Structure 1
Amino acid sequence: MKKYIIYIAILIVGLVLGYVFFGTSSEGSSNNKNVSDMSDNAEVDNQMWTCSMHPQIMQPEPGDCPICGMDLIPAETGADGLAMNEIKMSDNAMALANIQTTIVGNVSGNDENKMSLSGKIMANEEANAVQASYFEGRIEKLNVNFTGEEVRKGQLLATIYAPTLVAAQQELLTAASMKASQPALYNAVRNKLKLWKLSESQINQIETSGKVRENFPIYATVSGTVSQKMAEEGDYVKQGQPIVKVSDLGTVWAMFDAYENQISQLKEGQKITVTTNAYANKEFEATVSFIDPTLNTKSRTVSVRATLNNEEDILKPGMFVTAKVQMSKDNAIQTQITVPATAVLWTGSRSLVYVKTNPNEPVFEMREVTLGTKNGDVYTIVEGLNNGEEVVTNGTFTVDAAAQLQGKKSMMNTKGGKTTTGHEGHSGMESTTNTETTDHIAQTKRLKVSSKFQTQLNAVFDDYIAIENALVKDNPESAKKGASQLLNTISAVDMKLLKENTAHNHWMQLEKELKSSASSISQTTDIKKQREHFIHLSAHLINAVKTFGINQKVYVDFCPMANNNVGAYWLSGEKEIRNPYFGNEMLDCGSVIEEVN
């Protein structure tokens, strides 16, 4: 009996211990399972799907690649999360295009409620003097040797042989012998010599000596610096002809350009503080002495002048200076964000910048901004940017070209979205057009331009094809030569044929990028580097062809394996695939993804 009691007790203890150790663990496992399931569900919810051959494709659900039809695979961690109009660029593309960014900041109270003006130092025109010859003759001796030489009032500048003065002196001696009987004639002859700037003592000396002088001196009437020699020794000068120009640099002018919306803050007599890079720690106090009453219609500015004391002779004409002008409290700008002019793309009606949305990744998004004043090479941003945001300040147009090619919102593609007109497989087999599927080439807005401009763009395209053919044939020397020819052809394009501001500004920026890429190709025979630069050359020429049109049908081709499997585009005049990024290694790798008529 005792034995059974002991067995029962052991069984009860075992059940209790089993519940303590395994019951709670099971419950915890159940809870952990729920948490894990929630985490998995969240991960599934955020999972993006991509194509192994076309990594630019990002879909929220699994399915087929809209380009090649392959099954989509889960995107790697960090490859997802891009917003609809965000683009991600490779490190290689960033380096090739020299893309640089800057964090924009605010200036509270507009630099203590002060407005900046940019300008340069000029000679004070009120203190300028021209030393002229008062009589006709030949310069026998010129005592001013070079521009910049200092002269003093009363200093001998030149000696002149003057035949007319020789005759006038003879008249004086004749009239002096008859001054008792004909005093009027005598006085008239003396006054005639005075008009030629001969002094009383010089005239008396001629009369007393009874001798005629052949050479006469010219003296400086002011002190200053010779800013221009206007005659040389041996020259024959006419009466009143300038010999030297003298500038008194004891005072100088600081000339500034003020924009229309700055004019209301300026008035004559206003105190300003002037600084220059030459003397970074020195400030010069000045007063606004003149505001031009007319507006320069080209720059939309008025000239503002201040007179500076320059007794120490440290301010040199041509030197760049900056002025700080105290603004009234009513017009104070509490928060001001500025960006370099290179950051802004201007279409005529819109001003755009590209913002880096991920501080650790090269991810960018277009942002429309409202511009304020422009001081030098800096724009004030009225609306569209926040303090601390990072914007592209160099290579902005390259980022925009990448956005256009990926079908994202861009300079010429205001709504974003992607369209296609068909594509081919790697073998070159044609597929039917499908306008309802999506692709990675944007529908760029076509601008209306003259057929003459399109003909010139046709010539650019022909030279581009020459480079492409050289790369197809793995011939870097021909590619280099073709790039040099392309540079000349681009320079010959007449921008005056573009009448609208939007077209004109768009071509200006495209021209800069096309020249940069062509120049890089022309400076190397390393075919790998040439092909890297050809990626950017192609992207910008695709932009130009789709925006302006040319006088022939062209094809936009795409190779998913080029550019380290990121993919790259190029233009072709025929449907047959001939890959410039691999040449004979993979000549037919690629597909036609768009026809441009």
Structure 2
Amino acid sequence: MNKNILYIAVAVIVGLFAGWLIFGNSEIDVDASKDSSNMSDSHNHSSDTANQMWTCSMHPQIMQPEAGDCPICGMDLIPAESGAEGLALNEIKMTDNAMALANIQTTVVGSGAPSDEDGMISLSGKIATNEENNAVQASYFDGRLEKLNVSYEGQKVNRGQLLATIYAPNLVAAQQELLTTTALKESQPALYKAVRNKLKLWKLSESQINAIETSGKVRDNFPIYATVSGTVSEVAAREGDYVKQGQPILKVSNLNSVWAEFDAYESQISNLKVGQKMMIVTNAYANKEFDATISFIDPMLNNATRTVTVRATLKNIDALFKPGMFVTGKLKGESKMNDDLITVPASAVMWTGERSLVYIKTNPNEPIFEMREIVIANRNGENFRVKEGLENGDEIVTNGTFSVDAAAQLQGKKSMMNKSKKETSDMSLSQMIIDLPSSFQKDFEKVLTSYLQMKDAFVSNDANQVAAFAKETSKALKSIDISGLGKMEQAHLNKTIKMFDAIVENDNLENQRDHFVILNENLVPIAMNIENVDPILYLQKCPMANKNKGAFWLSKDKDIRNPYYGDEMLTCGSIINITK
């Protein structure tokens, strides 16, 4: 019995020891694992929080270190994607899956172009009516259109064709006057001749006048005949309409000759001259080429597209060319460009009107890209020749360029829509610390009073009032003693005075607003350092002004009243800061 008890006790002790060995170490390991996991989670979380940037889904150029509202549209900011380590400031990295989905392809570029297009310049354009051959068929007397024989656009008319029948009270009276003076033409030839000339001025022909004399009857409804031949481009009146003397009835275009109008890039202008021969092709007649000569080069550059209009006159007797038809013009350029310039596919270039952009693959072994601005020389068919920005051997995106640009925008990197990731701080102007003498501050408050009146005139789109208040403000500013200010402060004020004077001398509202942008950049840092301003001033900003660069202004009202757009976008903007 004692032995059995001893055996049981030993077994229990051994079992407990074995259980401790198995489960006790496991619990320690689990606890250690939990502690390690908690430490890791805590570390990663704090690291992510420290590096997390916030952006706007509608305006990806906005990047802020904290959550909040978008300063442009007011939407809630969302977490931005964390940047990949080892990337330069404006580089982006795409996954292999994203590359495949967007069908992104790259090409190594270099000099050279196909020999059959050596030195050729290609221009895109369309056919337009020759305005020199346009004419207006007008009514030469007041009356009511009883019948209109030509009533739709595209209808052809010939000189002498009956266009309409009109009832004209003045013409009825003139016919009666003619019949009366016909009996007196022997005794009063001058009176008779004067009456006939009056009818001729109303575009009545000799045969019509003679027919009235011969018949001896007055016609109530008088025919109107076409004075030109061509195609009707616009019907300006309808049957039953009352028309005034000189009012258009029809507009007629003679399409025997047409214009081919092309858009030429700024960099192509040096290769174009009036009288230069060019070849024109169109998809409508794929196997035909038409010879033409440049007849006009617009002396004004289109600021929006950075192009000039180049025009060639084409004979169109067979009516092959229709206004609105797309055409391509090709002409000989400088052949030496083929050796000096790099040729890239047109699909690789994104053109904003001001900038030409491509995406460079910066790492040959990984899908890492960076946007680069280039300068284009000219276009040859489906290729561009590049003057600056690329070197032989550069690998660029030639398909899916806009997909890469979209990825750059979402990551807040330099892209087509935002020139730089670096954002100008909205607070920079108001946070400049400037020590201003109390006497200067007192005098400067008078300047602010007239400045605010000028701002309100901008809101009302009143250029004359803007100039008047700018003159008053400039005068007040010039009367202030600035000798006690530092060089920086004096420079700001001198520039402000120049902008006020420029506004005074200019009566164009848009030009005045351009000067107002620069004026505020110099005046705001001074105004924001004036103490105890009464009333309190609000520093406000419109992100769309100044060509989407943003522009500031001061206001005594909390409500936004945009001086850069007036009624067009009266409430566009936000409050950035307030005076001390």
TM-score bin (small chain): 0.5 to 0.7
The Cα offsets for residues 551-577 of structure 1, whole Å up to 9 and x where unpaired, read as 9xxxxxxxxxxxxxxxxxxxxxxxxxx
CA contact (8 A) 1:154 1:219 kept: yes
- Work out the CA distance in 2 between the residues paired with 1:148 and 1:347: 35
Counterpart pick for 1:225 among 219, 223, 231: 231
CA 1:450/1:141 → structure 2, altered by over 3 Å: closer, same or farther? farther
| Residue type at the aligned position of 1:497 | P
Counterpart position of 2:525: none
- Work out the CA distance in 2 between the residues paired with 1:318 and 1:234: 33
CA 1:410/1:325 → structure 2, altered by over 3 Å: closer, same or farther? closer
CA contact (8 A) 1:290 1:305 kept: yes
Query: Superposed, which structure 2 residues align to 1:99-114 within 5 Å?
Result: 100-101=104-105, 103=107, 107-108=113-114, 111-114=117-120
Q: CA deviation at 1:299?
A: 2.9
Q: CA deviation at 1:83?
A: 7.7
CA contact (8 A) 1:136 1:164 kept: yes
- Work out the CA distance in 2 between the residues paired with 1:348 and 1:255: 21
Counterpart position of 1:398: 406
CA 1:262/1:110 → structure 2, altered by over 3 Å: closer, same or farther? farther
Q: CA deviation at 1:295?
A: 2.6
- Work out the CA distance in 1 between the residues paired with 2:123 and 2:317: 24
Query: Superposed, which structure 2 residues align to 1:162-561 within 5 Å?
Result: 162-329=168-335, 334-340=340-346, 343-344=349-350, 351=357, 353-355=359-361, 363-366=367-370, 368-373=372-377, 380-381=385-386, 382-384=388-390, 386=392, 389-391=395-397, 392-401=400-409, 445-449=422-426, 497-499=543-545, 503=549
Unmatched tracts of structure 2, length 5 or more: 1-40, 48-84, 429-539, 551-572
Q: CA deviation at 1:449?
A: 4.4
| Residue type at the aligned position of 2:405 | F
TM-score normalised over the length of structure 2:
0.53
CA 1:311/1:102 → structure 2, altered by over 3 Å: closer, same or farther? farther
CA 1:203/1:402 → structure 2, altered by over 3 Å: closer, same or farther? closer
Residue 95 (structure 2) pairs with residue 90 (structure 1): yes
| Residue type at the aligned position of 1:384 | L
| Residue type at the aligned position of 1:89 | M
CA contact (8 A) 1:252 1:310 kept: yes
CA 1:413/1:310 → structure 2, altered by over 3 Å: closer, same or farther? closer
Q: CA deviation at 1:335?
A: 4.0
Residue 130 (structure 2) pairs with residue 151 (structure 1): no
CA 1:343/1:257 → structure 2, altered by over 3 Å: closer, same or farther? closer
Q: CA deviation at 1:232?
A: 0.6
| Residue type at the aligned position of 1:188 | A
- Work out the CA distance in 2 between the residues paired with 1:204 and 1:169: 11
Q: CA deviation at 1:290?
A: 1.2
CA contact (8 A) 1:101 1:394 kept: no
- Work out the CA distance in 2 between the residues paired with 1:315 and 1:347: 29
Counterpart position of 2:33: none
Q: Could you tell which deviates more after superposition, 378-387 or 494-503?
A: 494-503
CA contact (8 A) 1:109 1:332 kept: no
SS at match of 2:401: strand
Q: CA deviation at 1:409?
A: 12
* Residue-pair matches, total: 361
| Residue type at the aligned position of 2:343 | I
The Cα offsets for residues 365-405 of structure 1, whole Å up to 9 and x where unpaired, read as 22534322475998643332546834041312233257669
- Work out the CA distance in 2 between the residues paired with 1:189 and 1:347: 61
CA contact (8 A) 1:109 1:334 kept: no
CA 1:104/1:162 → structure 2, altered by over 3 Å: closer, same or farther? farther
- Work out the CA distance in 2 between the residues paired with 1:189 and 1:413: 73
The Cα offsets for residues 160-219 of structure 1, whole Å up to 9 and x where unpaired, read as 111111101111111111122111111111111111111112111111111101111111
Q: CA deviation at 1:133?
A: 1.1
- Work out the CA distance in 2 between the residues paired with 1:176 and 1:99: 87
CA contact (8 A) 1:271 1:285 kept: yes
- Work out the CA distance in 2 between the residues paired with 1:230 and 1:324: 38
- Work out the CA distance in 2 between the residues paired with 1:154 and 1:303: 37
SS at match of 1:146: coil
SS at match of 2:293: strand
SS at match of 1:218: strand
SS at match of 2:249: strand
- Work out the CA distance in 2 between the residues paired with 1:410 and 1:320: 28
SS at match of 1:273: strand
CA 1:550/1:213 → structure 2, altered by over 3 Å: closer, same or farther? closer
Q: CA deviation at 1:259?
A: 2.8
CA contact (8 A) 2:118 2:338 kept: no
Q: CA deviation at 1:132?
A: 0.9
- Work out the CA distance in 2 between the residues paired with 1:387 and 1:374: 21
CA 1:496/1:175 → structure 2, altered by over 3 Å: closer, same or farther? farther
Counterpart position of 2:434: none
Counterpart pick for 1:161 among 159, 167, 177: 167
CA contact (8 A) 1:109 1:333 kept: no
CA contact (8 A) 2:360 2:395 kept: no
- Cα RMSD of the aligned pairs, angstroms, is 4.3
Counterpart pick for 1:142 among 143, 148, 152: 148
SS at match of 1:394: helix
CA 1:447/1:94 → structure 2, altered by over 3 Å: closer, same or farther? farther
- Work out the CA distance in 2 between the residues paired with 1:151 and 1:231: 16
SS at match of 1:395: helix
- Work out the CA distance in 2 between the residues paired with 1:377 and 1:187: 68
CA 1:173/1:333 → structure 2, altered by over 3 Å: closer, same or farther? farther
SS at match of 2:203: coil
- Work out the CA distance in 1 between the residues paired with 2:181 and 2:239: 34
Q: CA deviation at 1:318?
A: 1.4
CA contact (8 A) 1:148 1:225 kept: yes
- Work out the CA distance in 2 between the residues paired with 1:173 and 1:409: 81
CA 1:102/1:310 → structure 2, altered by over 3 Å: closer, same or farther? farther
Counterpart position of 2:126: 120
Q: CA deviation at 1:128?
A: 1.0
CA 1:133/1:124 → structure 2, altered by over 3 Å: closer, same or farther? same
- Work out the CA distance in 2 between the residues paired with 1:275 and 1:140: 46
| Residue type at the aligned position of 1:266 | L
